Amino acid sequence: MTDLHTHAEDIVAQFSDHLDLDVDDVEERLDNLVNEYRVPVDEARRSVVNSYLDEADLDRDALGGGGGNAAVGLAEIDEDEQWIDVTAKVVELWEARSDSVAQVGLLGDETGTTKFVAFETSDLPELADGAVYRLENLVTDEYQGNFSVKLNRTTTITEVDEEIEVGDDAETVEGALVDIQSGSGLIKRCPEDDCTRVLQNGRCSEHGDVEGEFDLRIKGVLDDGDAVHEVIFDREATEALTGMTLDEAKDMAMDALDTTVVAEEMRADTLGRYYRVSGPQFGRYVLVDDFERLSDPIDAEAALIEARSI
Ligand SMILES: [Zn+2]
């Protein structure tokens, strides 16, 4: 019964600011549900926690977990440098682009997903792809309207035996591509650890003059007739949209001795066409995960004439 005992200890810790619970009592209540009534452990735990919430006259949110920080949905983070606790699933692990990063990827909870970063210096246990963890003492981070969470030296990581239905926070917008904004095409990013800011005339706003790394991006505007939507295609999406690879873009710029020819070529290929895109909303942008080219909207009058003729 070590398992139930651990759950009981967790619950006692969770309520330590509100109720003076006895581990053995809590374990007995869990044991009763699990072994007497054959209730699954997760459900038993939820039921016991709920009864203590009632007893303490608390909302689940007020509990904020054992870390004592705000319990914020991952997709609802809207503050920089906020300390939070979450229970989240490791949805994706990405390749770390710098030696100082131990792990980088995507965490998900019921509200949606957000990027996480763990640094080598924090010396934390590794998160496993697909596993669910209780993570306490995370710090939120904001960059250009994009929020992420950082694990740090004080972060506690506890694997939990529960399944999370990760919420879908993707937005879908469509319309004619009416503008490709400056900062699109062949760009250079800052190579500093965890920076990736886009360079302006070879300068990073944080790190000054640096040797940039080439990347492709399109910051576009879709107009659906009622509203405009700002969207960002990353390198992969830009290559798929334009059919131009990063290497081809570099060659083109090299031949012309000018990087702006790339965005010009992309404009010529895509402006005025109709697209439907979907992806997470960050700040005022939809970051394009998926897109499809739509046939141009049906000319209403022509459709009417055709309908009458049937
Ligand atoms: Zn930089």
Of 215, 217, 270, nearest to 242 (Cα)? 270
Query: Is 39 found in the same domain as 8?
Result: yes
How far does the centroid of ligand 1 lie from the alpha carbon of residue 85, in Å? 29
For 72, the token pair is 């914020």
Spatial CA neighbour of 78 closest among 136, 140, 137, 134: 140
Confidence (pLDDT) at 304: 59
CA 206 – ligand 1 centroid, Å: 5
Mark whether 81 and 119 lie in a shared domain. Answer: yes
- Which sign does the torsion angle of CA 40, 46, 52, 55 carry? negative
**Is 299 part of a structural domain of the chain?**
no
Measure 113 CA to ligand 1 centroid, in angstroms. 25
The reply to whether 208 and 277 lie within a common domain is yes
**Residue 208 burial (10 A CB sphere; 0-12, 13-18, 19+):** exposed
- 307: number of Cβ within 10 Å: 8
pLDDT for 66:
47
The pLDDT of residue 1 is: 44
Tell me which residues of the chain have a pLDDT lower than 70: 1-2, 60-68, 296-310
Q: Are the beta carbons of 42 and 162 closer than 8 angstroms? A: yes
What pLDDT was estimated at residue 160?
93
- Residue among 17, 32, 84 nearest 8 (CA): 32
125 CA to middle of ligand 1, Å? Answer: 28
CA of 233 from ligand 1 middle (Å) equals 21
Per-residue pLDDT of 260-271, as tens digits, reads: 999 999 999 999
For residue 177 the two structure tokens come to: 């591509």
| DSSP 8-state assignment for residue 126 | P
- CB 180 within 8 Å of CB 216: no
Domain C-terminal end among 63, 92, 114: 63
Residue pair 132/87 in contact by the 8 Å Cβ criterion:
yes
303 in a structural domain: no
Q: Answer with the one of 159, 181, 212 that is the final residue of a domain.
A: 159
- Cα–Cα distance measured from residue 298 to residue 206, given in angstroms and rounded to the nearest whole number: 48
For ligand 1, the distance from its centroid to the CA atom of residue 132, given in whole angstroms, is 33
Tokens representing residue 122 in the block? 């924090």
Report whether 21 contacts 36 (CB < 8 A): no
Task: Look up the CATH number of the domain holding residue 130.
Answer: 2.40.50.140
Q: Which domain holds residue 94?
A: 74-159
Stated as kind and residue range, the H or E segment containing 50 is helix 41-56
Are both 54 and 92 inside the same structural domain?
Answer: no
pLDDT at 37: 82
pLDDT in tens, 46-85: 788 888 888 888 776 566 444 567 788 898 888 888 889 9
What pTM does this model have?
A: 0.50
Report the separation in Å between the CA atom of 142 and the middle of ligand 1, taken as the mean of its atom positions. 15
Residue 307, pLDDT score: 61
CA–CA dist 26, 36 (Å, integer) = 15
Same-domain pairing of 181 and 257 = yes
Q: How far is the CA of 145 from the centre of ligand 1 (A)?
A: 17
Q: What is the distance in A from the centroid of ligand 1 to the CA of 241?
A: 28
Instruction: Determine how many CB atoms are found less than 10 A away from the CB of residue 143.
Output: 15
Structure tokens, 57: 């006259």
Torsion of CA 72, 73, 74, 80, to 10 degrees: -30
